[in-house]
Amino acid sequence: MTQVEREAMEYDVVIVGAGPAGLSAAIRLKQLDPEREVVVLEKGSEVGAHILSGAVLDPCGLDALIPDWKEKGAPLNVPVKEDNFYMLGEAGKVRIPNFPMPPLMNNHGNYIVSMGNVCRWMAEQAEALGVEIFPGMACSEIVYGENGEVKGVVAGEFGKNPDGTPGPGYEPGMELHGKYVFLSEGVRGSLSKEVIAKYDLSKGKEPQKYGLGMKEIWEIDPEKHREGTVTHTMGWPLGKNAGGGSFIYHLDNNQVYVGFVVHLNYRNPHLYPYMEFQRFKHHPVVADLLKGGKRVAYGARAISEGGYQSMPKMVAPGVALLGCSVGMVNVPRIKGNHNAMLSGKAAAEAAHEAIEAGRASDELSNYESEVRNGAIGADLKKVRNVKPLWSKYGLTASLTLGGLDMWTNTLGFSFFGTLGHGKNDAEATEPASKHAEIDYPKPDGKLSFDRLTNVSFSMTNHEESQPAHLKLKDPKIPVEVNLPKYAGPSARYCPAGVYEFVEKDGEQQFVINFQNCVHCKTCDIKDPAQNINWTTPQGGDGPNYPNM
């Protein structure tokens, strides 16, 4: 293919992704120097369209960035009033008391929020400071300089034919160059993955681990609504099949967030995370709450769970990885947004210092040391062993040992040191012959729903004439390897029904319905052969989440 001619625009800092990390970086850069030229590129049709999070927000990140956020009208309107933890059995529940839990598990002072709405508000703050924000601009390529440094990105390429050639309405996009490029794409971003591989940033680190988070918003009977109540559960229905658990958050307007997380290191390829979520809603505790209500939205995304020991090196020449591009989620707290904001602030301060000193396109090592040795590192270091203990010994043992380790870490030491994770999540998948199939009840259309019906509640849309953004490294592997060996797990692990095996003329064929994709990245993570590469579709395509 001939080299595409593109116009280029120059900025001080180019930021990919208008999530909490990217917007925090943009705001901080402008706070430090109002003349700084900063651009934020967002693949969603608007800021917040692709943001999905629990979310109970620890406001410490906002406190550090915009101390007067309350006066400025930040949408943190529902303080947490009550915290409940339950272990579920098939028909009943056991409450886990709050008093033995380490202080870091307390949600007092936190808020139940829509992170989509928080990001929309943050974008308004950034634009008021003079930040340029361009939604609907997917960044499809990294631009490298003569010395191998990251020089910028390509954004806004539209109009390719399904085979990848330029179509009649082709627009080549633009190159946006910066003295520094910040990648704040969220979990398993395509450009971040390329940068981590090119500069070998994961060398000497534990593999990143992931969970799949699925979420519905429900409007429920006002009689059952308890604004400010936060409930987490573990146990049923996953049992020993997988790690994970649920969250139920009562926000305002009689709405409830109902979410379910499945750790992606499960071994049994017959496991069907989406159907585990649907089955969970039939537990008496949940069913009683939701009966008579209606589901108004659905979405899914992967969550980084590797924690402290899995964070790759965060900087390379000209580029820094922010927030979930690194993996800054505190797993037991199920919180990462505060750390994403703090990472954006730290990256901005390091870039400001460098540019003031006349530097450009080098490594922002001050950013990395601030993350590892500052508030983010302290937050993640205390809980670093919870996930590996869970993976190794199962739920019950990990509750005891993980709780003990969090307590001792609060006091400054650990009996376990720093535990490793072992295999990545793709390697954890075992052959189907080693495991029994799992029989899932059919959705009833009232509490539980089939995948495709639910996907319609994510407002997902992709222009079908473009090339599929889900690319197979070897087109033969799904039918020749994954189907006979692993019973075709992609038909189950995807929470949007993108992948299916269809018989045609007596032969199995692998079909990719990319237009259903909600950009969760699970396929990129869990495929046993690591054969699926998630790339960005053209800008604006994908889910359009209202209040996730």
User: For residue 6, is pLDDT > 80?
Assistant: yes
pLDDT at residue number 2: 53
- Whether residue 431 lies inside any domain: the answer is no
Q: Which domain holds residue 220?
A: 78-113+208-304
Distance separating alpha carbons of residues 184 and 327, to the nearest angstrom: 11
Strand boundaries in 75-125, DSSP class E = 78-79, 82-88, 93-95, 111-112
Please report which confidence band the pLDDT of residue 402 belongs to, taking 50, 70 and 90 as the band edges: confident
Residues 103 and 123 in one domain: no
Provide the terminal-to-terminal Cα distance of the chain, rounded to the nearest Å: 40
Residues 335 and 463 in one domain: no
Query: How far from chain centre, in Å, is Cα 522?
Result: 10
How many structural domains are present in the chain?
3
Domain closes at, from 336, 357, 382:
382
- Whether residue 143 lies inside any domain: the answer is yes
- Whether residue 100 lies inside any domain: the answer is yes
Give Rg (Cα) of the chain: 22
Tokens of 323: 């927030």
Helix count (H) and strand count (E) of the chain?
A: 16, 24
- Whether residue 242 lies inside any domain: the answer is yes
325 backbone φψ class: left, alpha, beta (φ>0; ψ -120 to 50): alpha
Residues 297 and 263 in one domain: yes
What's the CATH code of the domain at 261?
3.30.9.90
Tokens of 348: 């901005």
Beta pairing class for 507-512 and 499-504: antiparallel
Domain closes at, from 251, 277, 304:
304
- Whether residue 180 lies inside any domain: the answer is yes
What pLDDT digit, counting tens, does each position of 450-476 carry? 999 999 999 999 999 999 999 999 999
- Whether residue 426 lies inside any domain: the answer is no
**Once rounded to an integer, what is the mean pLDDT over residues 387-392?**
88
**Once rounded to an integer, what is the mean pLDDT over residues 487-513?**
97
Contact between 153 and 16 under an 8 Å Cβ cutoff? The reply is yes
Residue 508, beta-bridge partner list: 503
pLDDT at residue number 1: 42
- Whether residue 145 lies inside any domain: the answer is yes
Residues 32 and 130 in one domain: yes
Residues 89 and 135 in one domain: no
Distance separating alpha carbons of residues 106 and 410, to the nearest angstrom: 13
Which ranges constitute the DSSP H helices of 322-394?
337-356, 365-373, 375-381, 386-393
Residues contacting 446, CB < 8 A, separation 6+:
291
Residue 2, beta-bridge partner list: none
pLDDT at residue number 287: 98
Contact between 540 and 44 under an 8 Å Cβ cutoff? The reply is yes
Nearest by Cα to 548 from 255, 223, 110, 227: 255
Percentage, residues of the chain above pLDDT 90: 91
Q: Convert 413-456 into a string of H (helix), E (strand) and C (coil).
A: CCCCCCCCCCCCCCCCCCCHHHCCCCCCCCCCCCCCCCHHHHHH
Distance separating alpha carbons of residues 495 and 278, to the nearest angstrom: 11
Distance separating alpha carbons of residues 321 and 350, to the nearest angstrom: 13
Residues 258 and 341 in one domain: no
Sequence letter at residue 119: C
Look at residue 115 and give its three-state secondary structure.
helix
Q: What are phi and psi of 466, to 5 degrees?
A: -85, 165
pLDDT at residue number 102: 83
**Once rounded to an integer, what is the mean pLDDT over residues 489-499?**
98
Q: What are phi and psi of 196, to 5 degrees?
A: -60, -40
CA torsion 297-42-193-525 (nearest 10°) is 10
What pLDDT digit, counting tens, does each position of 189-240 carry? 999 999 999 999 999 999 999 999 999 999 999 999 999 999 999 999 999 9
Residues 476 and 332 in one domain: no
Distance separating alpha carbons of residues 220 and 254, to the nearest angstrom: 6
Sequence letter at residue 90: E
What pLDDT digit, counting tens, does each position of 52-73 carry? 999 999 999 999 999 999 999 9
What pLDDT digit, counting tens, does each position of 85-124 carry? 999 999 899 998 887 788 888 899 999 999 999 999 999 9
Residue 132, beta-bridge partner list: 39
Residues 361 and 460 in one domain: no
What's the CATH code of the domain at 201?
3.50.50.60
Nearest by Cα to 113 from 68, 66, 48, 65: 48
Residues 87 and 21 in one domain: no
Residues 465 and 520 in one domain: yes
pTM: 0.96
- Whether residue 410 lies inside any domain: the answer is no
**Once rounded to an integer, what is the mean pLDDT over residues 374-399?**
90
Residues 295 and 167 in one domain: no
What pLDDT digit, counting tens, does each position of 501-543 carry? 999 999 999 999 999 999 999 999 999 999 999 999 998 999 9
Residues 358 and 342 in one domain: yes
What's the CATH code of the domain at 500?
3.30.70.20
Residues contacting 442, CB < 8 A, separation 6+:
none
Domain closes at, from 304, 338, 358:
304
Q: What are phi and psi of 80, to 5 degrees?
A: -70, 125
Neighbours of 404 (CB within 10 A): 17
